[in-house]
Amino acid sequence: MTIGVFDSGLGGLTIVATMRSQLPGANIIYIADTANAPYGEKTKEQILNYSIHITDYLVEHHHIDALVVACNTATSAAIIELRERYSNLIIVGTEPGLKPAISHSETKKVGVLATPATLEGEKYKALVAMLSNHYHVEVFEQPCPGLVQQIESGETTSDKTLSMLETWLSPMRDHNVDTIVLGCTHYPLVKESIQRVMRRSITFIDSAEGVTKRLIYLLSEKGHEFHGKTSLHLFSTGPIDTTMVETILGENFRVSVINSLN
């Protein structure tokens, strides 16, 4: 089986790392759309357009059986349209893990770090309202403009990144937040820095495990079997930090640049 995965940059590789360990025999094609990054500061129409072009490319050139939208922002903007256009594909999106965060939180005070576009999504807002009322939890939302760029540049522990996180996280620290939802696939790469700024033990909720489990379930329903060697091919639409690729995946991978998605 061939699985297409895309994100605006390197963040989706945090999901790919989990997929590689749990999907033996899969052929994974990953596209980092660095030419258009970051998605979190683009309009919904732009993100939808990028998502359609990438999916067309994966279908036409790699004949994928499944698609993972490894980006919270793209999921919010494009998942409905993608499922309508490619009804024969298994499509799994990525959404902030609010429900598991609430179940893990002892203080019932949960933080959500995400891009502005994710936090403004209608589906996300409805989920927060429903869960907040039902579970009597207080949710502290924080958009993180510029954090994706810091991570893409390998600045995960730099003074500038720590200063940004201090500004965003100090209200959560003051209100005794004990669980933080990493609402962008890039953000697991700054867990260490977040922990440092919060100055207490924090439970982190990210999407990698949940997305992989959902994908395995849907592939199994279609009769796919999981055995053999997993292969991974990485592509980008623009410049990419290969050192960070190695940091995420634990080994060196060659990244091919796609000059056109047509």
Catalytic residue among 71, 119, 148, 169: 71
Give the pLDDT score at 260.
77
Catalytic residue among 82, 184, 232, 240: 184
- Which of 112, 171, 104, 173 is closest to 135 using CA atoms? 104
Give the pLDDT score at 134.
87
Give the pLDDT score at 254.
87
Q: What is the mean pLDDT of residues 180-205?
A: 96
Q: Is 144 a catalytic residue?
A: no
Q: What is the mean pLDDT of residues 234-259?
A: 90
State the sign of the Cα–Cα–Cα–Cα dihedral 122, 128, 129, 134: positive
With beta carbons less than 8 A apart as the criterion, state whether 12 and 71 touch: yes
For the record, the structure tokens of 102 come out as: 């609430």
Please report, rounded to a whole number, the percentage of residues in the chain having pLDDT higher than 90. Answer: 82
| pLDDT band, residue 133 (cuts 50/70/90) | confident
List, in order of start, the domains of the chain with CATH numbers.
Answer: 2-94+208-257 (3.40.50.1860), 98-205 (3.40.50.1860)
Q: What is the pTM assigned to this prediction?
A: 0.92
Q: Is the pLDDT of residue 262 over 80?
A: no
Q: Is 184 a catalytic residue?
A: yes
